[in-house]
Amino acid sequence: MEKKWMRHFLGIKSLTCRSLLMIAATGMVLPLLLLDGCGGASTKTTSSSSQQEPQSYFVPWVAGTTNGSGGQLTQLTGTEIYAIDDTADAFSQSIYGLGGSFHLQGPQVINAGGPDSVSKNSRGLLSLGITANYAFSSSSGTYEVTDYSPAKSGSFAFEISGQYGGLAQIVGQPAVPLVVASACPSLSTAQTWLFLTIPGGMTTNSSGKAGAWSPTTDTAYGSAEISTSGSTVTFNNIKQYTLPSIGGTGTPSATATSPTTGVCGSTTLGYTTSVPGYAVATDPGLISLSEASATVGINSTGLLVEDNGILMSGTNTGTYENVLGAGTGAIGLPKPSSALDVSALRSAQYLGFVRGAGVYDAGSISAWSSHLASFSYSSASSGCTSFAAQTGTLSNGIYGGDFTNDDPSTSSDGFGNCDLAIDLGTQDSTNNGLFPNATVWLGASYAANTTSKTYSFPAVAIAGQLNGKYAIFLLGVDSTEPWTIYLLQSN
């Protein structure tokens, strides 16, 4: 039975609107008039002056997301909504999902924490306690609830100051970016964004399949110029690249020959931009047209998150359609106006998540991992000396690591182990904030390192500032799987 406190907490519209918006979010094309009354046809470019409480975050579906034995979180699901109430210390995770036989459903709460289930740790980290889980039962065709007392631990979030966005990881699920799309972007003059793909499980041939990503053919990173006119959002000069090898720059795609446009309006996801009929580059160099829809949220700090639309019908059912990144979608930030001070970037303290995206095999994702991490150490820091000796001298290194048993309470100072390192390499001379030849080192003791030895792999990173603090986003790949590292400067 639905808990009374949750009715206020969700603030979601009618079932009809839920279903229509879910369809739009997952990639099926709907005339805008069908979304009238659900907010989808709105041309407003500003949000209400009063801030919602709790704060609702638009979240892309990330490959590997599961919810018990429920089948609604397979690769054919759509976007998510996270809500965090910093006053009542409560939260919820909702998803636009599919039940048995692809039965359409609106935003369904799958995990929730009642009042006082969110605790504040040092450095701004939030621990999320799950007090109720709702999992779809294929046998009964309904959602069945499991109550937890005490609350189930192991979930975390880190919010950008002011609740503009952040990062989160529900226990048993991969880490995701959070963005508050509280208003449509207003950019009369084009501004350039850098972005990285949010990958699915690694495969040698993704063929644009949702949940899959091929490092040899699919987009890994890129840039785009974004401008607006009223509710119209234009993506121009989209440039996409495959993952570089160390010393290389990646294989470029052709710049889209014509601008890609979308429409921004108010939906239950926030003021998000839907992009039907845009130029698609599933693989670098391959430009085609599609009528499927992707969803992009951009907050006032510049954090960009894209959820790739998933085709729900036709001959290409199950494939995704994108604007910027491949795989699940993209995460991005504004290109800095000048070259970043790499020394300041390296010396900042960070909290975030490290995700191994796993392997895509026969339509499912296996062997993925996701762990809370902190970065802040120097190579000479206590506890890092031994690990730094294994990595050797790094040109622009940042040291950090996971927390023992993923439990930050085991740390006396809010910092984790020293078993991870990022060597940013050299900042691109023509693209401020881009580090195309980064390297990641996984220590033998890192929880998701199955080799029992320290090793490294190539990566690409983008960096900049969000609300006055540094952010670093990285995508790399070893011999078995893709890896992402998302870091936000902590308190």
Contact 106, 97 (CB under 8 A): no
Could you tell me if 325 and 451 lie in one domain? no
Could you tell me if 25 and 129 lie in one domain? yes
pLDDT of residue 49: 33
Res 386 pLDDT > 70: yes
Q: Is residue 110 part of a domain?
A: yes
Res 54 pLDDT > 70: yes
Q: Which of 122, 156, 179 is the last residue of a domain?
A: 179
Across 3-17, b (16+ Cβ under 10 Å) vs e yields eeeeeebbebbeeeb
Percentage of the chain modeled with pLDDT above 70: 77
**Which pair of tokens denotes residue 262?**
């979308």
Query: Which spans in 309-380 are helix H?
Result: 342-347
62-71, 247-256, 403-412, 436-445: range with lowest mean pLDDT: 247-256
ω into residue 150 within 30 of 0, thus cis? yes
Could you tell me if 260 and 363 lie in one domain? no
pLDDT of residue 31: 26
Q: What is the mean pLDDT of the chain?
A: 80
Report how many domains make up the chain. 3
Could you tell me if 417 and 299 lie in one domain? no
Q: Is residue 42 part of a domain?
A: no
Could you tell me if 278 and 198 lie in one domain? yes
Q: Read off the CATH number of the domain in which 404 is found.
A: 2.40.128
Could you tell me if 83 and 163 lie in one domain? yes
Contact 397, 376 (CB under 8 A): no
Which one is predicted more confidently, 248 or 132? 132
pLDDT of residue 167: 98
Could you tell me if 381 and 259 lie in one domain? no
Q: Is residue 361 part of a domain?
A: yes
Q: Which of 282, 304, 334 is the last residue of a domain?
A: 334
Q: Which of 159, 179, 199 is the last residue of a domain?
A: 179
Q: Is residue 132 part of a domain?
A: yes
pLDDT of residue 378: 78
Q: Is residue 221 part of a domain?
A: yes
CB atoms within 10 A of CB 361: 13
Domain around 149: 4-33+48-179
Res 475 pLDDT > 80: yes
Please report which confidence band the pLDDT of residue 79 belongs to, taking 50, 70 and 90 as the band edges.
Answer: confident
Please report which confidence band the pLDDT of residue 479 belongs to, taking 50, 70 and 90 as the band edges.
Answer: very high
Q: Is residue 43 part of a domain?
A: no
Q: Is residue 40 part of a domain?
A: no
Could you tell me if 367 and 258 lie in one domain? no
Could you tell me if 201 and 307 lie in one domain? yes
Percentage of the chain modeled with pLDDT above 90: 53
Amino acid found at 470: Y
Which one is predicted more confidently, 298 or 286? 298
pLDDT of residue 304: 97
Could you tell me if 320 and 198 lie in one domain? yes
Q: What is the mean pLDDT of residues 430-456?
A: 95
Please report which confidence band the pLDDT of residue 78 belongs to, taking 50, 70 and 90 as the band edges.
Answer: low
Q: Is residue 186 part of a domain?
A: no
Q: How distant, in Å, are the alpha carbons of 74, 145, 199, 203 from that of 25?
A: 15, 26, 19, 25
**Which pair of tokens denotes residue 246?**
């160390």
Could you tell me if 303 and 385 lie in one domain? no
Q: What is the mean pLDDT of residues 82-108?
A: 73
Please report which confidence band the pLDDT of residue 95 belongs to, taking 50, 70 and 90 as the band edges.
Answer: confident
Q: What is the mean pLDDT of residues 129-136?
A: 91
- CA atoms of 172 and 152, how far apart (whole Å): 11
Contact 123, 414 (CB under 8 A): yes
374-378, 470-474, 476-480, 485-489: range with lowest mean pLDDT: 374-378
pLDDT of residue 403: 94
pLDDT in tens, 179-230: 998 999 999 899 999 999 999 999 987 777 878 899 888 899 999 999 999 9
Could you tell me if 251 and 173 lie in one domain? no
